[in-house]
Structures are given as C-alpha cells and as structure tokens.
Amino acid sequence: MLEWLETLPGTTWQERWNASPSATYANWVSAPQDWLNATGRTTSKKRTELNYLGAGVLTLIGADVIRPSPQWLASNSSRYLPAQIIHACDPEGFEELRTSMSESEWTSRVGARAVHTLTRVIAAYGGRLKDIVVGDLLSFYPVTGRSAHSGIRLAYVWLRDRGNFPDHAPGTFHHLGVRTGQVSVEGLVDRYELQCKPVRDLIVDYLKKRQSSLDYNSLKNMSFALAKLFWANLEQHQPGIASLRLLPEVAEGWKARIAVKTVHRRQLDGSLAKQVAPRAGAASIHMQVRAFYTDIAAWALEEPTRWGPWAAPNPISEADCTVKVVVREQKARTDQRTRERLPVLPALIRTANRRLREARIRLKAIEGAALESQITVLCESFTLPRRAARVDGTPDKVRDADGKTRSFRTEEKHAFFAWATIEILRHTGIRVEELLELGHHSIVSYNLPTTGDAVPLLQIAPSMTDPEQLLLINPELADVLGAVIQRIRGSDGAIPCVGTYDSNERIWNPPMPVLYQWQVSGENRHVSISSIRRALNDTLAASGLIDGSGRPLQFQPRDFRRIFPADAQMNGLPPHISQVIAGHRNISSNLGYAALYSAEVTEAHRAFIASRRALRPFEEYRAVTAQEWEEFLSHFQRRKLALGQCGRAYATDCTHEHACVRCPVLIVGAEDRSRLAGTRQHLRVRIGEAQTEGWLGEVEELAVSLAAAENKIALLDARNAQQNSSVFLGIPALNQMTVRAAQIT
C-alpha cells in the first residue's frame, strides 16, 4: 500500500491518499489492484491479495498514517476496525468506558454498533475518546445507514454521561439528528425556487412583517400559500411574470387551478391511483392572497418607498373568500364520520385489549426461552436468534415460519400505547397534543373541604386558545394512567424527564416527566404523534372494521374528541356540561362536535332557553355566595347514611325524625343489602325481647320498622332480579305478521 501511495502526488501520506481514487471510490481496492496488475506483482490468488490490501489499509488507519473520510468509513469499514483502533489509539479510554456499564450493554448488538461508531470517529478525525465532540457524531449521521443510527444515538449517550460534552448539550442525539427546528423566513420561501427575485424579496419582507403576530405553523402555512400555491403557480403558467398586477384572465385561470388538486388514493386492490379532487382549503388560500394585497396597499401609505411600487388591484374578491358552503360540507362529512365510528368503538376497544394481551404472551415466551431455540406461541412458531441484541442480555427479534423478522418488544410497546391512547381519549375527549403533554404532575388531587375526601383530577395544559382544564378521573381512567406510570418508572421509582418536541412550533421543550415516553436505542424518548397514529392503524387493521365503501376504517386521534361529546349527549349529558368538560369557550364549538341534531333544532332549542330565561326574575341568575355554596355542598354530604343515601330535597328538614329505615325517600343500592339484612335481624331480636318482657308498645313500633326494612329488601331483590333477567319484547308470531301484511296491502 505504501509503495502504491508513493506513486501519487503529495508530500504526506494523507495528501497522497486524498489524491488517490481509493479515497472517493466505493470500491477502493480497484485502484491498488490495477497497479499491482500493471507492475506484475499480483498472484493467482487474488483473494489473498485483497486481504493483504485490506490489512494494509487497516494498519495505516490504526497508526494514524491516513484518515479516511466519514463517507469512506461508512461504506468500507471493516469488522476488524474496532479492535484495531481500540488497541492502537486509546485502550485505556475504551477500557474505562467499558467498566462504566454492564457487560450485557457493552456486548449487545446496539452496544457493538456504538463501539463501531466511536472507532470510526477516531479513525476519521484522530485523537482519543475524550477528544470526540458532538459535531463528530453529527458528521456520520447522514452518511451511515439506518441500522447504524441506533449506534450513533447510544454512543452519544455514553459520551454525554462520560462528560465529553458541555452542560448545554442536548440530552439525546435525537434533539440534533432528527428534529431540525425552525427554518428562517428566507428558507421557507427559497424552498420553492421562485424565479422572480424582486417578488421573492417582497414575499420574504411581507412574512417578516407578519411574523410577530403568527405562530411558526401559521407562518409556514402562509409561506406555502403565497410562495408555492400563488406565485410559483403563476410563474409555471405565466413564464416571465414580474408584477402583482394580474390580468383578469390570469387571475381567473389561477383560481380555477387552485380549486382542485391531485391526490393519490389507495384502491381496493392496494394500488395507488392519481385522482383530481376539489381542494377543501381553496377559500382559505384566497383569503391569504387577498390579505397579502390588502396589507401591501395599506402599508404603501406608511412606507411608500418599500410597498408603494407593489400596490395593485386585488384579484381576489370578497365573494371568493366565502366559506359557508365549505363549512357546511365539512360539517356534514365530520358528522357522518362520527356516526360511522361511534357504533364500532366497543369493537375497537376489544381489539386493543386482545392485541395487548397477545403481545405480552409472545414477549413473555421469548424472555424465558433459550437462544437459537424454537418456540410455539398462540399457534405460531418462531426461531430465536443466536445472540442477544438488548442491553439486558435478552433477544430482541425473532423469525417466524415464513422467515419474516419480528420484534415482540416493539409489537408489545405499540400495542400498549395504542390501548392506552384509545382508553384515555375516549374517557377525556382531549386533543392528541394535550395527550402527549400529559405528565406525572398532571395527576392532582382535590380534598373536599367538608369531609377531606381526596378526589383525583387530571390537569390538561392549555391548547390552542382554550383555557386550562381539570377533569375528574373515573376508575377506568385511573387504571389506565396507573398502568402507564408503572410502565415508564425507572429503577429508582422516578419517572424520567425527557425533552418534548413541539411539531407545530418546531422547538424543543425543557425535559419533563411526561407519561408518553419509551426507550429507543438505550435512551428515553418522547412518543411522537406519528407513532400514535401508526399504533392506532395497526389496531384498526387487526379489528377488520370497514367503512360504508368497503375500505378499511380509519381512526384519527381527532375522532375521539368528536365521539366523546356525541356519546355523552346521547346518554343524557347536557350540552353545556359537555362544553365545560371539552374545554370550549362557548357552546357553539361543542355542538359542532356532537353529530346529533340538525342546526335548525339546535338553534330553536337555544332560542327557547333564552326566551324562558328572559321571563324569569333577574335575581335568580345572580352568582351564589360562598356561604350558600358551602351550605349546598354540606347538604349532599349529610345525605350519606349507613343504609344508603337520603333523597330529600335541598333545604328541607327530615320529616321522619331520622327514622331512616321507615323513610320512603331512602335510596338503597345493592351494596347496602347486607346492612339492611343485619338491621332486619336486629329488629327481630328486639321484637322477641319486647314480647318476652311484655312491652307491647315497643313491639308495635318495632314491627313498623321491621315491615319497612323487609319491604326495602324485597324491592331491592326485585330490582336486581329484573336487571339480571331477559325482557320479553312481544315479538309477533308468524300468523300475526301475515295478517298485518295483508291488512297493509
């Protein structure tokens, strides 16, 4: 290798290597092999020559004679490279790193990839482990394959824990290599490659002026509407256009083009087909272009030098921005979507529970099986790998009977969070952004001031323009939240703090103990919205549900927010209470989610309530005082009795002198029957004693109480029997159906 490098220009071995074809060719061995053939030094055993060349390059890299580029190392790195670099460059550093972790973590498949990553960095840039910086790992991320990315992420965690990086370095490599953050206004516009630079600069200045009043997502959408859908479309169909003053036929042509879009729809056979469909957001694009022209005309009076030359007649009329028809069509589609999905929600819940149960059975089976063995789980056969791939020494992926690789841990993880997502969303109706922001501190308790009983509440962080919410946690929701917390707890019992990424604002939030997190490549990572949607789609595919057209039914997290008020109101919850639970400012927003009544019926009902309130005295609608509210709460606290609950009206006294067993307004449940039976037995004992002693008046009084207790027990038994028995609905006989059909005819 050195003799071949001597034939190349350069004063150092590195300069000669950089000048050689091997520094850039993927098949680096071709150039030195050709030189060997030309000089007659080759042998008949070409494989031996290739091994010699590879050993020579590996020796030169380990001796820091040459430093290949990250691209070269990513495509030509040898499996012997880690051992060579560790032995020749930094044996003490790697030994210290190895002793800082468990043996299973170091020898796992991901651990081996991390070690390979660290040795590649040293081979490319020299130095030792202590000299590696964040930028070194970043340079390898875009040139390596997807399988090597897990090694880069774990290597980042190792070096961060070792103290290689400054304190302000992100907690995980995911912050740097995956989420790019916000793009500047110039970057948002330049991605569409506008030809007219003056108009490009105008759009950039316009967006910068509007930037202070917009969030990042709105700014990105506006740049897409103005730069891509408006001006880039005009340049495509009107080459050389350089003015905002559009001819009527040009403006009408643009409106016609923007009214439709090409979509890819999946057919029943699984293929994708292009179709032209109406663009639902055409009116919104019209409004943004109209605002663009209107703002420039208004700003031209304040800054005529900058905006005056671009002031032009507005090609978008007010009628072009009408959205009544679009809103009505969208409301109809939304209502139909809710009506389709509400009845099949129980089937989806059963499927989610079944998938989670089966995934846990498969995972438990491979955890107790030996490597390279074959197991049969749920009537399926699987072959375990030869070596453990996880840091805990257990296998990760298996092969089924068809040779397909499957990861039972990933399947169980997705099945669990699909189940948790369905349960939490259907019990709360919150948005998916609010779901992903739920943290350990979101679960709070409120102590009743009178009794001190703790009431669990779920605190929802403000989303969009809605205020903060506090939702009561029912037992079913408490079980789900408890399962999530138990799953993500660390070995010390605490919930790890992870950084969350706001996909709308494109920023990283400070680390928080969020509930939706899982481990990926040895690091705790926040669950993304795309992962939630993918888990829901897998559950839907397993359920076999189809829509009216015969296609697989699709569920989005937003569907649960629409189903929640619709289901609640169908079961008798008043709309204004549903509005408070959903966190809407007015009842109109909540009624838009409930696909129950037509607009005319809803408006008529609201008008009737308003007119009825207008007839009542104004004093009845005053705010209650703190003392009145305390009295109201204490009334319901005093209703709790040993034998049930008192059903007397508010602010009324007990008319039976607290002889509750005789009172007809005593509300008893199935859980109170044992106490009633005990009271009945006690009354019988006292009646026997009174008869023995000759207390006839006492006997008469106790007999009334005994009759009342027996009556309540009999009514309770009859009610329980009715609930547990079938009901005859009066199904007509065949002859009755025939006679009725004849009468109708």
Per-residue pLDDT reduced to its tens digit, 285-313: 999 999 999 999 999 988 999 999 999 99
Cross-strand pairs, 377 = 380
Least confident of 140-144, 249-253, 500-504, 729-733: 729-733
Beta-carbon contacts of 7 under 8 Å, excluding residues fewer than 6 positions away, are 35
Over 80: is that where the pLDDT of 527 sits? Answer: yes
What value does the mean pLDDT take over residues 260-267?
76
Picking from 624, 554, 565, 625, the residue whose alpha carbon sits closest to that of residue 592 is 565
580: closest CA among 494, 470, 451?
A: 470
The most distant pair of C-alpha atoms in the chain lies apart, rounded to whole Å, by 133
Of the listed ranges 65-79, 207-221, 552-566, 720-734, the one predicted with least confidence: 720-734
Q: Of 39-53, 344-358, 405-419, 689-703, which gets the smallest average pLDDT?
A: 39-53
Q: What is the DSSP letter of 244?
A: S
- Local structure of 495: helix, strand or coil: coil
Per-residue pLDDT at 496 exceeds 90: no
Q: Is 555 exposed, middle or buried (0-12, 13-18, 19+ CB in 10 A)?
A: buried
pLDDT for the residue numbered 143 = 82
Alpha helices in 191-262 (DSSP H): 197-211, 216-223, 233-237, 248-258
Instruction: Of 290-294, 621-625, 629-633, 710-714, give the range with the top mean pLDDT.
Output: 290-294
Q: What percent of the chain has pLDDT over 70?
A: 83
Q: Has residue 147 got a pLDDT over 80?
A: no
Ordered domains of the chain (ranges, CATH): 2-177 (no CATH), 185-322 (no CATH), 346-544 (1.10.443), 562-619 (no CATH), 638-723 (no CATH)
pLDDT at 593: 57
User: What pLDDT, on the 0 to 100 scale, is given for residue 605?
Assistant: 64
More confident residue, 472 or 568: 472
- Specify the long-range contacts of residues 219-227, CB closer than 8 Å, at least 24 apart: 219/185, 219/188, 220/183, 220/188, 222/288, 223/185, 223/188, 223/189, 224/188, 225/284, 225/285, 225/288, 225/289, 226/288, 226/289, 226/292, 227/188, 227/189, 227/192, 227/194, 227/200, 227/203
Q: Would you say residue 739 has pLDDT above 50?
A: no
| Max mean pLDDT range (167-176, 280-289, 506-515, 556-565) | 280-289
Nearest to 706 by CA among 725, 721, 724, 691: 691
pLDDT of 585 reads 63
For 315-342, what is each residue's pLDDT tens digit?
998 888 877 777 777 777 777 777 778 7
Asked if 185 contacts 154 with a C-beta cutoff of 8 angstroms, the reply is no
Strands, E assignment, 401-468: 405-407, 443-447, 454-460
**pLDDT given for residue 290 in this prediction:** 93
Q: What pLDDT digit, counting tens, does each position of 106-136 carry?
A: 877 788 888 999 999 999 998 898 899 888 8
In 489-586, alpha helices (H) = 529-543, 557-570, 575-582
Runs of H (alpha helix) within 437-556: 475-488, 529-543
Taking residues 599-626, report their average pLDDT: 68
- What the block records as the tokens of 612 is 């009825």
Can you tell me the distance from the alpha carbon of 447 to that of 449, in angstroms, rounded to the nearest whole number?
6
- Whole-angstrom Cα distance, residue 172 to residue 157? 7
C-alpha 698/C-alpha 689 separation (Å) is 10
State the amino acid at position 23 in one-letter form: A
Look at residue 464 in the predicted model and tell me its pLDDT: 52
Residue 196 has pLDDT above 90, yes or no: yes
Lowest mean pLDDT among 146-155, 294-303, 312-321, 537-546: 146-155
Residue type at position 470: L
SS3 sequence, 565-578?
Answer: HHHHHHCCCCHHHH
For 265, phi and psi rounded to 5 degrees? Answer: -110, 135
Start-to-end C-alpha separation, the chain: 102
* Beta bridge partner(s), residue 376: 381
Distance from C-alpha of 232 to C-alpha of 245, rounded to nearest angstrom:
15
Is residue 171 within 8 A of residue 498, CB to CB? The reply is yes
**Neighbouring C-beta atoms of residue 327, cutoff 10 Å:** 12
Q: Which of 222-226, 345-349, 725-729 has the highest mean pLDDT?
A: 222-226
What was the pLDDT predicted at 416? 94
197: burial class by Cβ within 10 Å (0-12, 13-18, 19+)? exposed
Angle between helices 408-428 and 475-488 (to 10 degrees): 150
Band the pLDDT of 740: cuts 50, 70, 90.
Answer: very low
pLDDT band at 280 (very low <50, low <70, confident <90, very high): confident
Give the chain's mean pLDDT.
81
Alpha-carbon dihedral of residues 356, 360, 366, 369, nearest 10 degrees?
-150
Spatial strand order in the sheet of 666-667? 640-641, 644-646, 666-667
Tokens of 611: 């007119």
Q: Are 296 and 206 in contact (CB under 8 A)?
A: yes
Cβ atoms within 10 Å, residue 15: 14
Distances in Å between the Cα of 634 and the Cα atoms of 450, 456, 657, 688 are 7, 20, 19, 39
* Mean pLDDT to the nearest integer, 473-490: 88
Binned at pLDDT 50, 70 and 90, residue 579 comes out as low
Give the separation between CA 639 and CA 110, rounded to whole angstroms.
62
Distances 60 to 68, 127, 450, 528, 735 between C-alpha atoms, Å: 10, 15, 81, 44, 99
Residue corresponding to tokens 């009107």: 238
DSSP alpha helix (H) spans, 40-145: 46-62, 70-76, 81-88, 91-99, 103-107, 109-125, 134-140
Residue 696 clears pLDDT 80, i.e. is over it: yes
Q: Is the pLDDT of residue 745 over 50?
A: no
Q: What's residue 738's pLDDT?
A: 43
Q: Say if residues 603 and 592 touch (Cβ distance below 8 Å).
A: no
pLDDT at 358: 92
Place of tokens 């290599």: 177
